[in-house]
Amino acid sequence: MITNEFWLERWRSNGIDFHMEGVNPKLVNYWPSLPKGSRVLVPLCGKSNDLIWLAEQGYEVTGVELSSLAVIQFLGDNDFTFETHQEGDLKVHKVHDLPLRVVEGDYFQFTESGFDACYDRAAMVAMPASRRKEYVTHTLGLLSSSASILLISLRYDGDKQGPPFSVDETELSDLWGPGMQKIAVENLVQTTEEYKALGHHLFEESVWRLQH
């Protein structure tokens, strides 16, 4: 079962193979052009450098992450100075030199709304099938009706158990709605030896965008 404790333990044991050292090239390539100051939500953000890239574009960025270790590493590795305050069960860390906040706590307790855009990389696919609908409904509820979404999804063959989970295209469209368009696709088996070595024929990373 994928519980909050599962993720806290992943961080404690450094089982964070999902973390990328640099900025995700698919974010840089496919992020829509939005007015500076747009409020961007990054659910289940880990210690992703993508938060910094988004803030450097001039957006007001809010990442939400369960693990205090992830948050400490993110703030520490980047030498950020910040201030922290408590909002209910959530701790809000506001970085001094960038328009960036990291909210520490359970995403499902985070209820601030009206975000102009959302970036989901390894968040929806981190959710087990039993909680995926709840995750998407919660996320859509935090976004304005005209919000843009950039989502990176995964679909793979074989009997691997997630996370990351394989999400097929019908489910993805059912969850997010028909406006979600697939704009890029890469079979990682063809580009990254490790997926072939694991016996996959298909390990497809796809990029989806909802834009108004």
Contacts with ligand SAM, residue ranges (CB under 6 A): 4, 7, 18-19, 44-46, 48, 64-67, 70, 106-108, 121-123, 126, 163
Q: How far apart are CA 37 and CA 81, in angstroms?
A: 21
In this structure, are residues 34 and 117 in contact, taking their beta carbons and an 8 Å threshold? Answer: yes
In terms of CB distance, is 4 or 181 closer to ligand SAM? 4
Report whether 65 belongs to an annotated binding site.
yes
DSSP 35: -
In this structure, are residues 142 and 113 in contact, taking their beta carbons and an 8 Å threshold? Answer: yes
What are the residues facing 171 on neighbouring strands?
A: none
Shortest distance (Å) from residue 4 CB to ligand SAM: 6
Q: How far apart are CA 30 and CA 153, in angstroms?
A: 14
Shortest distance (Å) from residue 178 CB to ligand SAM: 25
Which candidate, 120, 152, 126, places its Cα nearest to that of 139? 120
In terms of CB distance, is 92 or 123 closer to ligand SAM? 123
Shortest distance (Å) from residue 63 CB to ligand SAM: 8
Q: Known binding site for S-adenosyl-L-methionine: residues?
A: 11, 44, 65, 121
Q: Known binding site: residues?
A: 11, 44, 65, 121
